Structure 1
Amino acid sequence: MLRIDGLNVYYGHIHALKDVALEVKQGEIVTLIGANGAGKSTLLKTISGLLKPKQGSIIFESEDITGRQAQLIVKKGISHVPEGRRVFANMSVEENLEMGAYLRRDKKEIKEDFQKVYDLFPRLYERRKQQSGTLSGGEQQMLAMGRALMARPRLLLLDEPSMGLAPLLVKTIFRMITEIKATGTTIMLVEQNANMALTIANQAYVIETGRVVLQGSAEELRASDQIKMAYLGGH
């Protein structure tokens, strides 16, 4: 579904991504793990058109989308849930979800998708008239994911969905990610909680200082001593 080859991205003089190559198959969850500042968020931003690569290609469903404008990439079927949630604080939950469908004109289907998001996140339905800035961190994460789903993506990019959430809520968010996958949406997941990410993912890539240093099935990486020591707290 997504193929990335020889991707090089710079922030000024800083070489943030170095010859990154990876693949995402349709219907899978692919997770990127690595330390803070390794380049994981940079990769998602480059896929979604927020950053322009210096070299390399991004092929989505056989089409080259390298360096395209962000709104065109959303139209193609890729939605990005950024790190830190970024909900529109002064708008209601409902208005935030409407913003997710901003590029769409199919009113009947938009209505159906509202219902799907509310079925997936019942808490959002309860809070639908509430200002988003007054929601808890977990509710804001649900809203950010729901808003991205309103664009009907075939590929969903999730950046640190569990960041700053209580352990119980982390489990809820991960359960919801697997439910989104079950509806047929392919997911690329960047996550500090490597253990949880590897539990739900099909494939995994380890990024260190802008390079892919390891890749394999999520099971293989969970079993690897190197990964256990570096990312899973040694157990």
Structure 2
Amino acid sequence: MLEIKDLHVKYGAIHAIQGVSLGVDEGEVVSLIGANGAGKTTILHTISGLVKAASGSIELLGTNLLKTNPSAMIRLGLAHVPEGRRIFASMTVDENLEMGAFVRKDRDAVREEIREIYERFPRLMERRNQIAGTLSGGEQQMLAIGRALMGRPKLLLMDEPSMGLAPILVREIFKIIQELKASGMTVLLIEQNARLALSIADRAYVLETGRIVMEGNAQELLENDQVRKAYLGA
């Protein structure tokens, strides 16, 4: 579904991403793990068009995303749940979900899918008319996921979904990701809790200072001594 080849990204003199190649197959959860500053978020931002690549290629279902504008990316089936949620804080929960479907014209279907989002996230239903900026961190993360799902994505990019959340809410968010996986959703996941990310992923890539240094089956990486020492505190 997603294929990245020899991707290079530069911020001025800083060579942030250095020849990264990776792939995500349909129905997979693939995790990118690495220390802060390794370049994980930069990769997601480059996929979404928020950061310009210096060279390389990124293809979603055979379409070159580096030559595609963001609204066309959404129509192709790309959705991004960004680090820090980035909800529309001054809008209501309901309005945020409607914004997730802004490229769609099938308004009756949009309302039906908002109803389905509320079924998936009952807490959002209780707060549908509440200003989104007043929600708790966990509720905002649910809203960010729900807003992304309103675009009917084929590939969901998720950046640090557990950041800043209490452990009980982290478990709740990861249960949601597992449910999305079970429904057939394809996910590229960045997560500071490497153990949790590897426990639900099919495959993973380890990123260090802009380069892929290891890749493989997530369970095998979870048991790898080098990964355990570097990222799992063991």
TM category (shorter chain) comes to over 0.9
Q: Note the residue ranges of structure 2 that are not aligned, 5 or more in a row.
A: none
The residue number in structure 2 matching 1:79 is 79
Q: Note the residue ranges of structure 1 that are not aligned, 5 or more in a row.
A: none
For 1:19, what is the secondary structure of its paired residue? strand
For 2:130, what is the secondary structure of its paired residue? coil
For 1:30, what is the secondary structure of its paired residue? strand
Give the root-mean-square deviation of aligned CA atoms. 0.8
For 1:108, what is the secondary structure of its paired residue? helix
Matches within 5 A, 1:29-178: 29-178=29-178
TM superposition shift of 1:111: 1.7
TM superposition shift of 1:217: 0.7
Query: Given the alignment of the two structures, is residue 225 of structure 1 paired with residue 229 of structure 2, yes or no?
Result: no
Which amino acid in structure 1 is aligned with residue 47 of structure 2? I
Matches of 1:110 and 1:78 in 2, distance apart? 17
Matches of 2:159 and 2:214 in 1, distance apart? 20
Matches of 2:116 and 2:193 in 1, distance apart? 27
For 2:66, what is the secondary structure of its paired residue? coil
Q: State the Cα deviation string for residues 47-72 of structure 1 (Å, max 9, x = none).
A: 11111111100111122222422222
Matches of 1:67 and 1:173 in 2, distance apart? 33
Q: Contact 1:49 / 1:67 at 8 angstroms: preserved in 2?
A: no
The residue number in structure 1 matching 2:216 is 216
TM superposition shift of 1:180: 1.4
The residue number in structure 2 matching 1:11 is 11
Name segments (4+ residues, structure 1) moved above 4 Å.
Answer: none
The residue number in structure 2 matching 1:188 is 188
Task: Give the TM-score of the pair, scaled to structure 1.
Answer: 0.98
Which amino acid in structure 1 is aligned with residue 79 of structure 2? S
How many residues in Structure 1 have an aligned counterpart in Structure 2?
234
TM superposition shift of 1:13: 1.4
Q: State the Cα deviation string for residues 120-145 of structure 1 (Å, max 9, x = none).
A: 11111111000001100000000001
Task: Give the TM-score of the pair, scaled to structure 2.
Answer: 0.98
Which amino acid in structure 1 is aligned with residue 153 of structure 2? P
For 1:66, what is the secondary structure of its paired residue? helix
Which amino acid in structure 2 is aligned with residue 215 of structure 1? E
Q: Contact 1:87 / 1:96 at 8 angstroms: preserved in 2?
A: yes
For 1:141, what is the secondary structure of its paired residue? helix
Matches of 1:113 and 1:213 in 2, distance apart? 40
Which amino acid in structure 1 is aligned with residue 54 of structure 2? K
Which amino acid in structure 1 is aligned with residue 44 of structure 2? L
For 1:124, what is the secondary structure of its paired residue? helix
Q: Contact 1:160 / 1:191 at 8 angstroms: preserved in 2?
A: yes
TM superposition shift of 1:183: 2.1
Q: Contact 1:53 / 1:67 at 8 angstroms: preserved in 2?
A: no
Matches of 1:133 and 1:185 in 2, distance apart? 28
For 2:20, what is the secondary structure of its paired residue? strand
Q: State the Cα deviation string for residues 161-188 of structure 1 (Å, max 9, x = none).
A: 0000001100000000111122221000
TM superposition shift of 1:108: 2.2
For 2:162, what is the secondary structure of its paired residue? coil
